[in-house]
Amino acid sequence: MSSNNRSSPAATLICSGISKSFGAGNIVQPVIQRCSLSILPGELTLIVGPSGSGKSTLLSMLSGLLRPDAGQVLALEQDLWTLTESELDSFRLHHCGFIFQGFNLFNALSALENVVLALQYLGVAADESFRRARQALAEVGLGGRAHLRPAELSGGEKQRVAIARALVKSPRLIFADEPTSALDKQNGQIVIDLLKDIAHNHNATVLGVTHDPRLLSHADRVIMLEDGAVQADRRAPEISAHHSGENA
């Protein structure tokens, strides 16, 4: 079959006309306004925009953490916001990995034990859990530091443990909320490149938000958000050209 006839991958995450406002009474602030997007597997997609543009709110609605006021979110063909809270919890547990700016590691546990914990919630047997956790830590370059606790790790290493914890479940959807905001430029690029490799190597849908323009050239797709609406949607060749133009 020729490449011209090859079908594009089906979107694994689709939102249609979602909106969200915060406030009460006469004081209501729209944050996301009638947003529609289709996110593909096998790519690192970054949502970027100025502070207050609604990036994290949009990510929370797409990942089943925050209910939109209007619109629909389809994740793996499941209409998320028709689910009960317990069904949503189960969906996130089995299909989603989350990476946050604050790492969210347990200080009393080693890196290996932090990663194993994600599989214990799924009821995976201990031997299998430790095998998969070691494999995930090796994939993020921490195979030799699995025995260390978070206090013994750098900020970049802590975030890589958090990535391993998300990866160990083999989720089809991975969400990253400002995963590099606490890191310097070098470690930030390491983390973004890891997320890109995971998207490509595992055919996962990896969606992140960032305010750091230095990271944009590392993404497969960049969605520019401002005042709660999509202002631009660029793929890798356009990203590089646009980024070069801004730095010229």
What is the C-alpha separation between 123 and 30, in angstroms, rounded?
41
6, 7, 8, 11 alpha-carbon torsion, rounded to 10°: -160
Q: Report the chain (248 residues): mean pLDDT per 10 consecutive residues.
A: 54 96 86 95 94 91 95 96 94 94 92 95 94 97 95 94 96 94 90 94 95 86 93 77 51
**How many CB atoms are closer than 10 A to CB 125?**
10
* SS3 state of residue 40: coil
Provide the pLDDT for residue 26: 82
155-186: pLDDT as tens digits: 999 999 999 999 999 999 999 999 998 899 89
Q: What is the pTM of this model?
A: 0.90
* Long-range contacts from 17-22, C-beta under 8 angstroms, 24+ separation: 17/70, 17/71, 17/72, 18/58, 18/61, 18/68, 18/70, 18/71, 18/72, 18/73, 19/68, 19/69, 19/70, 19/71, 20/54, 20/57, 20/61, 20/66, 20/68, 20/69, 21/69
Provide the pLDDT for residue 167: 96
Provide the pLDDT for residue 222: 96
Q: Is 63 exposed, middle or buried (0-12, 13-18, 19+ CB in 10 A)?
A: buried
What is the C-alpha separation between 33 and 182, in angstroms, rounded?
29
Distance (Å) of CA 122 to CA 41, 105, 152, 167, 179: 23, 18, 28, 14, 24
Provide the pLDDT for residue 238: 66
Provide the pLDDT for residue 237: 65
Quick one: 9-247 is in which CATH superfamily? Answer: P-loop containing nucleotide triphosphate hydrolases (3.40.50.300)
> Strand 78-79 to strand 229-235: parallel, antiparallel, or no bridges (unpaired)?
unpaired
Provide the pLDDT for residue 202: 95
Residues paired with residue 104 on neighbouring β-strands, in sequence order: none
